[in-house]
C-alpha cells in the first residue's frame, strides 16, 4: 500500500492482524505505528525498520536496503 504525489512515492506496511496502523509525523521524522513502532524515517535521511522479539522488545534495526543499521 502506498501513494505517489508528483515524483515522491511513499510505501506503507499494513499488518492486517493488528489494529489499523497510524502514521505520526513531526518536523524531524515520520514514524509508522501498528501495535508498536514499525518504521522511522528521519528528515532527508534513510528509512529504518524495527524488528521486535516475542516480548515486543526491539531486537534489530534495518535500513531500507535490508542491512543491519
Sequence ranges of the domains in the chain: 2-63
CA dist 69 and 61 (Å) reads 5
Radius of gyration of the chain measured on its C-alpha atoms: 13
Which regions of the chain are under pLDDT 70? Answer: 1-2, 12-28, 43-44
pLDDT at 28: 67
Amino acid at each position: 500500500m502506498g501513494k505517489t504525489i508528483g515524483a515522491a512515492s511513499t510505501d506503507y506496511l499494513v499488518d492486517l492482524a493488528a489494529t489499523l496502523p497510524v502514521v505520526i509525523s513531526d518536523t524531524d521524522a515520520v514514524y509508522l505505528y501498528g501495535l508498536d513502532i514499525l518504521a522511522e524515517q528521519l528528515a532527508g535521511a534513510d528509512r529504518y525498520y524495527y524488528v521486535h522479539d516475542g516480548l515486543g522488545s526491539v531486537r534489530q534495526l534495518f535500513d531500507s536496503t535490508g542491512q543491519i543499521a
